[in-house]
Amino acid sequence: MLSKTKTSKILSTLEDMYPLAECSLDFDDNHFHFLVRAILSAQCTDKRVNEVTRTLFDKYSTIAAFAEAEQEQLAQDIKTCGLYNAKSRNIINTSSILVEKYNGEVPVESEDLESLPGVGRKVANLIRGELFSIPAVVVDTHCMRVAKRLGFTDSNQPLRVEKDLASCIPKDKWITLGHRFVAHGRALCTARSPKCNSCALIEVCRHGRSQERKR
């Protein structure tokens, strides 16, 4: 586990680097819309999801409309998001469950969220943080990579990474931390060839320092 000093240095540096980091999925004050966007975001960019859903919600204007949608037609409507057969089935089934079991509301409890088709731990945590302001660490591919390089974890298992981060990061930072890791993973700490020489975290980064020593 990283020391408190190092952890707080990393958090403050990330805050300086990405003061306005936030979720890049659109949010229009409609919980169900955000849930659909989150389901569509699996292995797809947020930008593409935002583009597709701008017209999707005109065509399917209610949860019931999604629940009653023709699966093949919905698959075509979301095709450019990838995995469209599975995603269309998940959206239809999730919509039906929301109507039948939750009175059309997106539930708040992790257990309820994770029981919905297409909603795993990552999406459930995203929903809890973004819609209900409940502290939750969202572990996506950027978060996994950046957390491991910085030395917060040695694991490649999302749940383990989440626990490792939660054990040393103050709870009130969990939501923004995820957004900052994503921003950093896109900007500098890229999967291939991270730009360590331009990174303000290099002095406190396990991976960055090891790369420096090799030179």
Which residues bind to ligand SF4, rule: CB under 6 A? Answer: 146, 149-150, 188-189, 194-196, 199, 201-202, 205, 207-208
- Report, in Å, the least distance between residue 10 CB and ligand SF4: 8
Tell me which of 87, 140, 164, 173 is the catalytic residue.
140
Nearer to ligand SF4, 37 or 142 (CB): 142
User: CA-to-CA distance for 162 and 144, rounded, in angstroms?
Assistant: 9
User: CA-to-CA distance for 187 and 112, rounded, in angstroms?
Assistant: 34
User: CA-to-CA distance for 142 and 147, rounded, in angstroms?
Assistant: 8
Q: Work out the angle at residue 30's Cα, subtended by the Cα atoms of residues 28 and 31, and round it to the nearest 5 degrees.
A: 125
25 contacts: CB under 8 Å, gap ≥ 6 = 34, 37, 38, 41, 46, 49, 50
- Report, in Å, the least distance between residue 177 CB and ligand SF4: 13
Nearer to ligand SF4, 38 or 196 (CB): 196
- Report, in Å, the least distance between residue 173 CB and ligand SF4: 17
Tell me the helix, strand and coil percentages in the chain, rounded to 5.
Answer: 65, 0, 35
- Report, in Å, the least distance between residue 207 CB and ligand SF4: 4
Nearer to ligand SF4, 78 or 183 (CB): 183
Tell me which of 122, 164, 171, 173 is the catalytic residue.
122
Q: Does the annotation count 122 as an active-site position?
A: yes
Nearer to ligand SF4, 113 or 188 (CB): 188
User: CA-to-CA distance for 4 and 168, rounded, in angstroms?
Assistant: 8
Residues catalogued as catalytic = 122, 140
